[in-house]
């Protein structure tokens, strides 16, 4: 979802008329907010038992913090759902029960809905005219805006993310979807109406240039998804500027290698249409690319530039796997390399000591799915080891210290002296380095070597070997020798200083905390909350709905293994949950001691 939202101009948020805003819906909506994607809303399945359009609209307001601009009202509900009233035109669209989308007629609003339609139409107009001061002033003076003016205001507000035009229907029975498709055309932005993509340098810093949607400008395209296909890898690509033709050679700025465009296809669900060319604004799949991965930029060789890359979170869980069939190692390796290409949040490594294959991902379910894909898609059955949590370390106290590196082996030796402070940084700051050296005691050209020595060392903590987070190092003073000092000497000094001082700075083990969103029937709420408490969960909120209760909590990943099975047992198979990484937090002492002991025993 995240990768798709990165390249979309607009989208349709679909919510169940019975289930309402479900846990995964909220996550995807937040992703869309982060990507600033304009949306319209469809409350679907109004023919289902328990459907309630108005309740779902209220949930969208309260749970998502969004402003749904209601454009239609349902005529009937559940088995009696037969159509919608278009609030703009005050017309009723009625379908028969043939499930044929073309078999409908338009008539006047049912008499028993007249007052309700006027009430919601007034809300629609009041919200829409806020986009135009002149129109609002005229409306306040008693002049009703034209439908064309209202549509213009609705389009403007939708593109600005001020509100979200909201429709209802039953896609299964082809009722109400025509107005949704019209809304896609009428209210969602075209490629020219969204913010242009910024161009960046190879370090990721914006250059001030933008990929303007214009087929006559140099090519700028982003590969956002790779899918294995019987004809080879399909590289899904959004073209932001310029154009490409079959047979063109383009530059991949991340690899520095040229790529030849073998074929261009336009995808329509599971069918495809061959194209000779594509241009700015198009989303196409390219065949024949050898070295392009998700997030890579393809551009004009004569006028290269890089687009803002996709950022993927680091994995929080890992497991060891090995093929059940002794001869399956090569087949497993080929399959895993394809899977890594398709999903950048999935990582594969080989343990240097044991030689085991380690797969890493964003949660237990993520890795369960990967193991299932290995079996179903690639025919590789594997044995799975115990999940390992991606702990981190940090420090809690400031330490000022000094270290001198001396080495004499005949001829010129090595000398570097550094005086420094190492202290906790702000949460999420990673690693920060600063030099306040004056007077040339450590020449400026050696500062980067000191920084590198500390930064490289942070990959291995002193408690259990987990990476160190959120540390600031300040180079205060030091000394150098005109002959024996060098960048490598200062880097070695910094690495030794790290090992010397971090244990003095009260290091602390951090564990990944997951944001857990559980839906449970009313009669199992106590069991679910009690179970989360036993898992060291922190309950954030409870929200009662018509069909059950939503419980939101923060809980350590290490305590959530096997949760889906336990939840199903507790709720007789009716519970649902979603889980995503939230943040790192200090481990309780007893947990930290057990983790450190286990890691040390594993390394023996």
Question: How would DSSP label each residue in 411-439?
Answer: SS-EEEEEEEEEEE--TT--EEEEE---T
223 forms beta bridges with 237
Q: Rounded to an integer, what is the distance from CA 465 to the centroid of its chain?
A: 28
Integer Cα distance of 546 and 21 in angstroms: 12
Integer Cα distance of 344 and 362 in angstroms: 11
- How distant, in Å, are the alpha carbons of 301, 391, 586, 588 from that of 508? 49, 11, 7, 10
Note whether 75 and 83 are within 8 A (CB).
yes
Residue 227: per-residue pLDDT: 85
Residue 469: per-residue pLDDT: 93
Integer Cα distance of 444 and 490 in angstroms: 12
Residue 478: per-residue pLDDT: 94
Rg of the chain taking only CA atoms, in angstroms? 29
348 forms beta bridges with 359
Reported pTM: 0.71
Residue 47, CA atoms < 13 Å, CB-side half-sphere: 14
DSSP E strand stretches across 396-548:
399-407, 414-424, 431-435, 471-479, 507-520, 538-544
Residue 379 tokens read as: 């025919």
Mean pLDDT by 10 residues, the chain (604 residues): 85 93 81 91 94 94 92 95 95 90 90 95 96 93 93 96 97 94 96 90 80 93 86 88 94 92 89 92 92 90 87 82 86 90 87 79 86 91 87 96 86 88 91 91 93 95 93 94 90 96 96 92 92 96 82 93 87 84 93 91 76
434 forms beta bridges with 474
Residue 547 tokens read as: 């069909």
Integer Cα distance of 486 and 445 in angstroms: 9
* SS3 state of residue 346: coil
* DSSP per-residue letters across 287-332: E--SS--TT-EEE-TTS--EEPPP--PPP-EEEEEEESSGGGHHHH
Q: Rounded to an integer, what is the distance from CA 105 to the centroid of its chain?
A: 43
Per the listing, tokens 């020595």 go with: 453
Among residues 464, 598, 600, 588, which one has the least CA distance to residue 535?
588
| Mean pLDDT of all residues belonging to the chain | 91
H or E stretch at 335:
helix 329-342
Integer Cα distance of 120 and 70 in angstroms: 7
Note whether 367 and 387 are within 8 A (CB).
yes
Note whether 478 and 416 are within 8 A (CB).
yes
* DSSP per-residue letters across 13-27: EEEETTTBS-HHHHH
- Which DSSP letter does residue 145 get? P
Per the listing, tokens 């609705």 go with: 154
Integer Cα distance of 238 and 244 in angstroms: 11
Residue 458: per-residue pLDDT: 95
Note whether 459 and 453 are within 8 A (CB).
no
Integer Cα distance of 371 and 383 in angstroms: 9
Residue 309: per-residue pLDDT: 79
How many other C-beta atoms lie within 10 A of the C-beta of residue 275? Answer: 16
* SS3 state of residue 11: strand
Q: Rounded to an integer, what is the distance from CA 512 to the centroid of its chain?
A: 17
Q: Which domains does the chain have, with CATH numbers?
A: 2-192 (3.40.50.300), 197-307 (2.40.30.10), 317-389 (3.30.70.870), 393-505 (3.30.230.10), 510-591 (3.30.70.240)
Residue 546: per-residue pLDDT: 67
Note whether 14 and 39 are within 8 A (CB).
no
How many other C-beta atoms lie within 10 A of the C-beta of residue 98? Answer: 11
175 forms beta bridges with 170
Among residues 157, 162, 213, which one has the least CA distance to residue 187?
157
Residue 51 tokens read as: 């459907």
């Amino acid at each position: 979802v995240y990768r798709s939202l990165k390249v979309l101009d607009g989208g349709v948020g679909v919510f169940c008329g019975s289930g309402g805003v479900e846990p995964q819906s909220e996550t995807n909506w937040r992703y869309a907010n982060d990507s600033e994607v304009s949306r319209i809303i469809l409350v679907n399945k109004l023919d289902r038992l328990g459907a309630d359009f108005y309740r779902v609209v209220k949930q969208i307001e309260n749970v998502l913090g969004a402003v749904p601009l209601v454009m239609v009202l349902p005529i009937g509900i559940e088995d009696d759902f037969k159509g919608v009233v278009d609030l703009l035109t005050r017309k009723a669209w009625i379908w028969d029960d043939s499930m044929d989308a073309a078999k409908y007629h338009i008539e006047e609003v049912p008499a028993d809905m007249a007052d309700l339609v006027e009430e919601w139409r007034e809300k629609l107009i009041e919200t829409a005219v806020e986009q135009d001061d002149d129109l609002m002033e005229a409306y306040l003076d008693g002049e009703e805006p034209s439908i064309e003016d209202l549509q213009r205001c609705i389009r403007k507000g939708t593109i600005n993310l001020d509100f979200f035009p909201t429709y209802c229907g039953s896609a299964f029975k082809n009722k109400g979807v025509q107005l949704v498709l019209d809304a896609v055309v009428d209210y969602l932005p075209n490629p020219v109406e969204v913010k242009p993509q910024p161009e960046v340098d190879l370090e990721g810093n914006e250059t001030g240039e933008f990929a303007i949607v214009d087929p006559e400008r140099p090519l700028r395209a982003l590969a956002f998804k790779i899918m294995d296909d019987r004809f080879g890898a399909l590289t899904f690509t959004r073209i932001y500027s310029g154009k490409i033709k079959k047979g063109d050679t383009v530059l991949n700025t991340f690899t520095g290698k040229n790529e030849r465009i073998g074929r261009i296809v336009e995808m329509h669900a599971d069918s495809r249409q061959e194209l000779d060319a594509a241009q700015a604004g198009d989303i196409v799949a390219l065949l024949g690319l050898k070295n392009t991965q998700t997030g890579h930029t393809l551009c004009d060789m004569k006028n290269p530039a890089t687009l803002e890359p996709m950022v993927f979170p680091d994995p929080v869980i890992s497991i060891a796997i090995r093929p059940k069939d002794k001869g399956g190692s090569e087949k497993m390796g080929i399959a895993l390399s394809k899977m890594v290409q398709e999903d950048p949040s999935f990582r594969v490594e080989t343990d240097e000591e044991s030689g085991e294959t380690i797969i890493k991902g964003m949660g237990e379910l993520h890795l369960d799915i990967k193991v299932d894909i290995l079996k179903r898609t690639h025919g590789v059955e594997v044995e799975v080891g115990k999940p390992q949590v991606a702990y981190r370390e940090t420090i809690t106290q400031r330490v000022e210290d000094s270290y001198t590196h001396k080495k004499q082996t005949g001829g010129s030796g090595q000398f570097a002296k550094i005086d420094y402070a190492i202290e906790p940084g702000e949460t999420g700051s990673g690693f920060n380095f600063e030099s306040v050296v004056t007077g040339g005691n450590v020449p400026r050209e050696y500062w980067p070597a000191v920084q590198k020595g500390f930064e490289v060392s942070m990959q291995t903590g002193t408690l259990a070997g987990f990476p160190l987070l959120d540390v600031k190092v300040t180079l205060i003073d030091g000394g150098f020798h005109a002959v024996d000092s060098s960048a490598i000497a200062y880097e070695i000094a910094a690495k030794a200083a790290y090992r010397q001082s971090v244990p003095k700075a009260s290091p602390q083990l951090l564990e990944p905390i997951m944001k857990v969103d559980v839906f449970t029937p009313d009669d199992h709420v106590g069991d679910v909350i009690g179970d989360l408490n036993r898992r060291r969960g922190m309950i954030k909120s409870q929200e009662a709905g018509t069909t059950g209760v939503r419980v939101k909590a923060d809980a350590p990943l290490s305590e959530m293994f096997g949760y889906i099975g336990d939840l199903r047992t507790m709720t007789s198979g009716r519970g649902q949950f979603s889980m995503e990484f939230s943040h790192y937090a200090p481990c309780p002492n007893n947990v930290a001691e057990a983790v450190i002991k286990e890691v040390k025993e594993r390394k023996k």
